[in-house]
Structure 1
């Protein structure tokens, strides 16, 4: 009788609403045995949102610039800093200066409404391009001092799907003339001379516009035409009118570590306005039964299954065959569906929201949340599925009580600002985040 009472108690604790346990005999040879397959799909789920303390912002190999306003995620701003260099400092004494500008080449990434006009302003960095951190790395909250007066600006409607296209921002004529003359007159002859004189640039978007964030590519190679960088244009010989007489000196971002994106979000008027630190988890009950993920600023959805360990009480010997977690993204319009990623990365975190490891399946292979999206009028068949077999098995076989949860984030969360809203409940008030565990009981 005690065994039956214990099983009933465990099932009651496992189920958030009702118990739906199915037993399936494993073939006719086991008719008179206790070996069977059990499925439990009504686990208690705790869901919330937390914010990572900081994200590595250098070595992402993407210039990310723009501003986007959102009811859930507030005002997001991405400002990019970079140092430019060259290894060639040879200009004929007969050459004549023409102009200077900054070229930004699209890399296909964009977030937001690209039909809107955006304005970029370029400023000169006024301190040495160096990170003030123990690991000499820049983070999303890093900043460098820069001149308040802009060197140049441009307003434009982007075409981010054209990787051969670019944005050209004319810069201050006198700055270019000064650099040109210092190089021509041999005052600057080496890369070290140049970076001591010219620390770098920062590009700042118009923060009053609710527009978009764009990605631009850069390579440490001046021979590539579709490369972002600063360029000085000049004429080699004033008496020569041929096309070959027009020259340019290109200054490129020589290393990914010499560029970073300062990404911030003002969450004051959003449901996520009270993060104290990265240990703070805001429950879905406080955010209209939704949880949130946004790359770039480190907002992460957190899913916890507190009663998972109680599965062990159902049997002294069992083995997980399959475990699948499903959750549905919020889709208000076709645009929301269009921006859904085919997969999301999943991490295991502890009770303080510290990352323990990336999620793996029972065979140790990295497991992602993959999108399943069938065509239906109300998007009811659009959801993400995660293989939790390795996670469940780890929890059940651990000798200690692992107080672990799952963190949902974008795979390139250090160089994008993509976002997703996850529904905690469906339109009928039922659980929209579900775990189904199939295990062999013997």
Structure 2
């Protein structure tokens, strides 16, 4: 028996290196043989797009602000909310107030056209900074009420690749003066007292320009350098003429959980403009043979293989050796190609688009959609591959029809707004999403 198994594996190795392995469509009558390897790559594919109800965007540790327009995804807008704090509240009686402002330090993330002018407006949050009663976190569709009158604004062209640089937004003089005097006069001595005075701030981008979305970094401590936060500037007279009299009182974001990004997409002008709820699937047949994924807004590409269980009808004596899915992103130009990530996360979803689990291979390791052919000069052979061995094994081994599908999404979907379009057919009308299953029949 051991000799037979060794012989089989030698035979398998020889066949796997051969280019003469035949392809058999599901439903074909096979001629019995002692042992052979077969490849099936003619599965029917159902592709579509759906939108998740909401994504948790608090605790992402990134302030995300901006607005841009895309023909495929419409107007995307990211508005950030955060609560501010300080570890101590003490200002000398000799201090003299100067000004107040909000500092936002770049963290290198950007999406859109950074050569265009953008305007940010800062508003005062007017309700206590906490999630809804039935929620434990803030989501991309969460909102807090805020004062319609801005505390300050700035228009600028960004330099997001300079991590030591920042955007400075001057705030209302009287706001700073009032905070300064209450701290100096011991009317605000604790974080709770300050929270009661200022629930938080929100930064809103102008949506009239097709501009960009930027990421800003922060830490929840008193760090001044490279940290985003609110700063009060003042002077303090001292007898030491050699010392610097210019002082700062710094308010940092109280915690990662007390910062979130409200991210929304206006899809009215797009082909994916009629999501009733998270169960709505817009077929690729209705969207020019394309499916769509956008991080932040929760738009997800969906791939279903409804005939996969038909493999069980081929033989009672067969084992899946390999299963690989390929799909091709739409590449308009070199900029589009350069924005493609090295990999996507792949999730298993049920018939109601509820996430069941992240995809794994046959050994239980997380499986990703991995970019191949990125050095393809003419963009003819740039595609993603997904190890489907674990998924195929699960579907074939189930006694019931699991009715599962795959969801394609960016890894950092909670703190970016990147997007991708996947073509379901090529320019000649041939399928552009394919599953190939290699199995042993004995």
Output the TM-score relative to the length of structure 1: 0.92
* Partner of residue 281, structure 1: 281
2:74 aligns to what?
A: 74
Structure 2 residue aligned with 1:51:
51
Match of 2:132 in 1: 132
* C-alpha contact 1:328 1:382 (8 A) present in aligned 2: yes
Per the alignment, residue 253 of structure 2 pairs with 253
Spell out the pairing of 1:332-371 with structure 2 (5 A cutoff): 332-371=332-371
Query: Match for residue 26 of structure 1?
Result: none
- Contact map agreement 2:77 2:207 (CA 8 A) in 1: yes
Q: Which whole-Å CA distance do the structure 1 matches of 2:242 and 2:299 have between them?
A: 55
By how many angstroms is 1:150 displaced?
0.8
CA distance in 2, matches of 1:198, 1:274: 39
1:200 and 2:200 equivalent? Answer: yes
Contact 2:224 / 2:250 at 8 angstroms: preserved in 1?
A: no
In structure 2, the partner of 1:237 is 237
Distance 1:402 1:260, change over 3 A: same
Q: Report the Cα offset of residue 242 of structure 1.
A: 4.9
Deviations 1:142-176 (A, max 9, x none): 11111111111111111111111111111111110
Cα offset, 1:313, TM superposition: 0.8
How many angstroms apart in 2 are the aligned matches of 1:22 and 1:298?
44
Shift of 1:267: 0.6
Task: State the shift of 1:243 in Å.
Answer: 5.5
Compute the displacement of 1:22 (Å). 11
Partner Cα separation in structure 1 for residue 273 and residue 241 of structure 2: 62
Deviates more, 1:221-230 or 1:410-419: 221-230
Equivalent residue number for residue 211 of structure 1: 211
Q: Could you give the per-residue CA deviations for residues 257-276 of structure 1, whole angstroms, max 9, x where no partner exists?
A: 10111111111110001111
Q: Shift of residue 318 of structure 1? A: 1.2
Which residue of the partner structure matches residue 427 of structure 1? 427
Counterpart of 1:120? 120
Distance 1:171 1:433 in 2: 52
Verify: 1:177 aligned to 2:174, yes or no.
no
Output the CA distance in 2 between the equivalents of 1:242 and 1:81. Answer: 40
SS at match of 1:169: strand
**Range 390-399 or range 131-140, more displaced:** 131-140
Deviations 1:183-209 (A, max 9, x none): 001110111110110111000001001
Query: 1:132 deviation in Å?
Result: 1.1
Q: Secondary structure at the match of 2:325?
A: strand
Matched, 1:388 2:372: no
Quote the residue 1:94 is aligned against. 94
Moved more, 260-269 or 129-138: 129-138
Equivalent residues of 1:22, 1:40 under 8 A apart = no
Q: Indicate the SS of the match to 1:429.
A: coil
Aligned to 2:4: none
In structure 2, distance between residues paired with 1:165 and 1:200: 24
Unaligned runs of 5+ in 1: 1-10, 24-31
TM-score by length of 2: 0.92
In structure 2, do the counterparts of structure 1 residues 22 and 264 end up closer, same or farther at CA, with 3 Å as the change threshold?
A: farther
- Aligned partner of 1:272 in structure 2 is 272
In 1, the alpha carbon distance for the partners of 2:376 and 2:413 equals 30
Q: Using the alignment, how far apart are the partners of 1:292 and 1:428 within structure 2?
A: 21
Match of 2:307 in 1: 307
How far apart are residue 224 of structure 1 and its match? 4.3
Please provide the CA RMSD for this pair: 1.7
Q: 1:328 is paired with a residue of what secondary structure?
A: strand
Q: Which deviations, in whole Å up to 9, do the C-alpha atoms of 1:310-329 show, x marking residues without a partner? A: 01111102111111100000
